[in-house]
C-alpha cells in the first residue's frame, strides 16, 4: 500500500513506446508482403565449414564483443548504484581522541580575572573547587570528565550512523527506471555488435574467396600465355608466323604476370582483417586461409519480410528505443529536484574515556534527526536542468526515428543490390559463353591465315575479362546477400550472449602484481 502511494507521487512523464509508421511492404521486394522466414544461422547457407569456424572463433574472442560485454557490466553496476538510493546508508565508525588543555585557558584563569581563587572545581570529577580567594585543589578525578587546565583527556568511541532520504516524489524511482533502460540498451548494443561482427567476418571471408578465385583465373591465364609463347617462338623460328606475333605474345605474358600481384596483396589484406576480427594477430591465419578450398555456392535469396518486423528484430532499433526510455526517465529525475527533500539520520554510539567500560549501557549515546530541504531560489538552475533533460529526450526520439529510417533504407539498398547483381551475373555468364565460342573460331581462322594475330589476342582478352568479371559478380552477389541478412537484423536470436566479462579480458589481464 505504501509502495503504491509512493509510486503515485512519481513525478515526470510516464514513458510510452513511440509509434512509428512503416510502409506495408518494401519497395524493392520481388515477393508479396509476407513475414520473413527464420534467419538464425544464415551464414551456414554458404555451406563452408571454414566460414562457420571463423564466425564461432570471432564470437568467442573478439575484442569488440569484450568491449560490448564490459559496457553491459558498467550499466548493471550503475543500476545497482541507483537502486541503492532506495535504502538507508549505514556506516560503522570507531575512533579515539586525545586532547591536552591549555593552562591559561581554563576556568581558574577566568576566575582570577575577577579576584577568584585558583581552584579547579569545574574539573570534571574533582569535587573540591576553591572558594572565593581560595586555592582549590580541583584536579580532575579518575572517573573522567573535563580535564583541569594543563591536564589531558582521551576518549574512545564506536558505533553506527544511518541516513535515509525518503523518495517521496519518485526521483530515485525515475533514476532506477533510467538505469534499467540503459542496461537493456547495452544488452541490445551487444547483440548488434554480434550481428555486425558476423557480417564483417562473412564479408571479409567472401571477399577473400573471390580474390582467390580471381587469382586462380589469372594464374590459369598466365600458364596459357606461357604455353602460347613457347608455341609462337617455335613457329616463328620455323618461319610460319611473323616475329611481331611472338613479341606481342611476350607482352601479353608480361601483362598476365603483372595482374597477379595486386590480387595476392588484396587477399593478404583480407586475411589480416579476418584475423583481427577473430581476436588474433594479423598474420596468424595466413597459412590456414591460403589453403585451396572448394568453390562456394550461392545461397538462396531470402524474402525481406514486413518492414514492421524490423522494429522488433533489429538490435540497433531496440537499443535506440531503450535509450529513449532512459532519456524520458531522466526528465523525472530533474523534475523531482524541484520538490522538497526529506531525510532521516540517526546515530547509536558508545562513548567513554576508558576502554574498559566503553561497551556498557552507561556509555551508549543516541542521536536522531529529521530534516527537510525546500528549494526557494536557485536562479533557474533546477528548471534549466529540466529543460535540458526534455531536449535530450527529444534528441533521443529523433535518433530513434533516424535509426528506423536507416534500417528501412539498408534493406531497400540490399534488395536492389541483390537483384541487380543477379541480373548482371546472368548477363556476364552469357557473354562469357559467347566469348569462349568466339576465341575458338578466331584461332582457327588465324591458323589458316585468314586473320591477324591481334584478333586472337583480342578474343583471348575477352575471355579472360569475362572470367574475371564473372568471378567478381559472384562474389558481389554473395556479399550483397550478407548485407541483406545484416539489414534484416536476424541471426542473433539463437546465439549465446555471456554478459559476464570473459576471463582475461579485464584490466587484471594486463596489470602485473607488484613483487
d(CA 404, CA 18) in angstroms, rounded, equals 12
Phi then psi for residue 370, to 5 deg, are -120, 135
pLDDT score recorded for residue 89: 94
d(CA 493, CA 464) in angstroms, rounded, equals 44
pLDDT in tens, 461-478: 888 889 899 999 999 999
Task: Compute CA distances 283 → 102, 121, 198, 261, 290, whole Å.
Answer: 78, 89, 20, 18, 11
Tell me, yes or no, whether 124 lies in a domain: no
pLDDT over 80 at 453, yes or no: no
Cell of 184: 537493456
Domain that holds residue 421: 42-86+171-335+379-488
d(CA 82, CA 388) in angstroms, rounded, equals 21
d(CA 177, CA 83) in angstroms, rounded, equals 9
The secondary structure of 285-298 as a DSSP string is THHHHTS--PPP-P
pTM above 0.85, yes or no: no
| Residues whose CB is less than 8 angstroms from the CB of residue 21 and which lie 6 or more positions away in sequence, other chains included | none
Tell me, yes or no, whether 177 lies in a domain: yes
Mean pLDDT score of the chain, rounded to an integer?
84
d(CA 442, CA 450) in angstroms, rounded, equals 9
pLDDT over 60 at 295, yes or no: yes
pLDDT score recorded for residue 123: 41
Tell me, yes or no, whether 14 lies in a domain: no
pLDDT score recorded for residue 239: 65
pLDDT score recorded for residue 278: 94
* Residue 473, Cβ density class (10 Å: 0-12 exposed, 13-18 middle, ≥19 buried): buried
- pLDDT-above-70 percentage for the chain: 83
Tell me, yes or no, whether 154 lies in a domain: no
pLDDT over 80 at 48, yes or no: yes
Tell me, yes or no, whether 162 lies in a domain: no
pLDDT score recorded for residue 392: 97
Query: What's the half-sphere exposure (Cβ side, CA atoms, 13 Å) at 152?
Result: 5
Cell of 501: 566479462
Position 503 confidence tier, pLDDT thresholds 50, 70, 90: low
pLDDT score recorded for residue 143: 43
pLDDT over 60 at 7, yes or no: no
- H/E segment holding residue 199: helix 171-237
Averaged pLDDT, 449-456: 76
Tell me, yes or no, whether 9 lies in a domain: no
Q: Is 490 in contact with 407 (CB distance < 8 Å)?
A: no
pLDDT in tens, 276-286: 999 999 999 99
d(CA 465, CA 217) in angstroms, rounded, equals 10
Which residues are paired to 381 by β-bridges?
none
d(CA 118, CA 114) in angstroms, rounded, equals 11
Averaged pLDDT, 371-377: 94
pLDDT over 70 at 509, yes or no: no
pLDDT over 70 at 228, yes or no: yes
pLDDT over 70 at 120, yes or no: no
pLDDT score recorded for residue 117: 46
What's the count of helices (H) and strands (E) in the chain, helices before strands?
11, 4
Q: Is 403 in contact with 317 (CB distance < 8 Å)?
A: yes
d(CA 116, CA 191) in angstroms, rounded, equals 85
pLDDT score recorded for residue 433: 92
pLDDT score recorded for residue 79: 95
- Tally of domains in the chain: 1
Position 36 confidence tier, pLDDT thresholds 50, 70, 90: low
pLDDT score recorded for residue 5: 46
Task: Compute CA distances 83 → 7, 41, 79, 172, 185, whole Å.
Answer: 15, 38, 6, 8, 18
pLDDT over 50 at 139, yes or no: no
Tell me, yes or no, whether 503 lies in a domain: no
| CATH number of 240's domain | 1.20.1600.10
Tell me, yes or no, whether 311 lies in a domain: yes
pLDDT over 70 at 255, yes or no: yes
pLDDT over 90 at 304, yes or no: no
More confident residue, 228 or 322: 322
pLDDT score recorded for residue 229: 80
Amino acid at each position: 500500500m505504501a509502495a503504491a502511494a509512493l509510486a503515485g507521487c512519481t513525478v515526470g512523464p510516464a514513458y510510452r513506446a513511440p509509434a512509428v509508421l512503416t510502409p506495408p511492404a518494401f519497395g524493392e521486394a520481388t515477393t508479396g508482403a509476407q513475414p520473413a522466414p527464420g534467419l538464425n544461422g544464415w551464414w551456414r547457407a554458404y555451406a563452408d565449414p571454414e566460414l562457420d569456424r571463423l564466425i564461432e572463433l570471432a564470437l568467442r574472442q573478439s575484442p569488440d564483443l569484450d568491449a560490448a560485454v564490459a559496457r553491459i557490466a558498467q550499466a548493471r553496476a550503475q543500476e545497482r548504484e541507483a537502486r541503492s538510493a532506495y535504502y538507508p546508508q549505514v556506516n560503522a565508525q570507531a575512533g579515539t581522541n586525545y586532547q591536552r588543555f591549555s593552562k591559561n585557558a581554563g576556568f581558574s584563569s577566568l576566575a582570577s580575572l575577577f579576584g577568584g581563587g585558583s581552584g579547579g572545581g569545574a574539573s570534571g570529577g574533582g569535587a573540591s573547587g576553591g572558594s572565593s580567594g581560595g586555592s582549590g585543589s580541583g584536579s580532575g578525578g579518575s572517573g573522567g570528565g573535563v580535564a583541569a587546565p594543563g591536564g589531558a583527556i582521551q576518549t574512545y568511541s564506536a558505533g553506527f550512523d544511518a541516513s535515509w532520504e525518503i523518495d517521496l516524489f519518485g526521483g530515485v524511482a525515475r533514476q532506477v527506471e533510467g538505469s534499467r533502460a540503459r542496461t537493456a540498451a547495452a544488452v541490445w548494443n551487444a547483440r548488434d555488435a554480434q550481428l555486425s561482427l558476423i557480417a564483417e567476418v562473412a564479408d571479409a571471408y567472401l571477399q577473400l574467396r573471390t580474390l582467390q578465385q580471381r587469382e586462380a583465373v589469372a594464374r590459369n591465364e598466365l600458364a596459357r600465355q606461357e604455353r602460347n609463347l613457347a608455341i609462337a617462338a617455335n613457329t616463328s623460328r620455323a618461319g610460319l608466323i611473323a616475329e611481331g606475333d611472338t613479341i606481342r605474345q611476350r607482352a601479353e605474358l608480361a601483362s598476365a604476370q603483372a595482374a597477379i600481384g595486386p590480387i595476392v596483396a588484396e587477399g593478404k589484406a583480407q586475411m589480416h582483417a579476418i584475423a583481427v576480427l577473430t581476436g588474433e594477430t594479423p598474420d596468424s591465419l595466413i597459412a590456414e586461409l591460403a589453403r585451396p578450398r572448394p568453390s562456394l555456392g550461392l545461397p538462396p535469396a531470402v524474402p525481406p519480410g514486413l518492414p514492421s518486423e524490423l522494429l522488433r528484430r533489429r538490435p540497433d532499433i531496440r537499443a535506440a528505443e531503450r535509450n529513449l526510455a532512459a532519456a524520458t526517465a531522466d526528465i523525472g529525475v530533474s523534475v523531482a529536484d524541484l520538490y522538497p527533500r526529506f531525510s532521516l539520520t540517526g546515530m547509536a554510539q558508545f562513548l567513554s574515556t576508558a576502554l574498559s567500560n566503553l561497551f556498557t549501557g552507561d556509555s551508549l549515546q543516541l542521536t536522531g534527526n529529521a530534516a527537510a530541504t525546500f528549494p526557494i531560489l536557485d536562479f533557474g538552475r533546477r528548471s534549466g536542468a529540466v529543460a535540458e533533460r526534455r531536449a535530450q529526450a527529444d534528441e533521443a526520439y529523433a535518433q530513434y526515428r533516424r535509426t528506423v529510417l536507416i534500417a528501412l533504407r539498408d534493406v531497400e539498398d540490399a534488395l536492389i543490390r541483390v537483384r541487380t547483381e543477379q541480373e548482371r551475373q546472368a548477363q556476364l555468364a552469357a557473354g562469357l559463353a559467347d566469348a569462349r565460342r568466339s576465341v575458338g573460331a578466331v584461332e582457327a581462322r588465324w591458323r589458316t591465315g585468314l586473320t591477324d594475330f591481334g584478333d586472337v589476342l583480342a578474343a583471348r582478352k575477352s575471355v579472360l575479362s569475362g572470367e574475371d568479371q564473372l568471378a567478381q559478380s559472384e562474389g558481389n552477389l554473395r556479399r550483397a546477400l550478407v548485407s541483406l541478412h545484416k539489414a534484416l537484423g536476424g541471426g542473433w536470436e539463437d546465439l549465446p550472449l555471456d554478459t559476464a566479462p570473459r576471463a582475461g579480458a579485464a584490466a587484471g589481464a594486463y596489470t602485473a602484481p607488484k613483487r
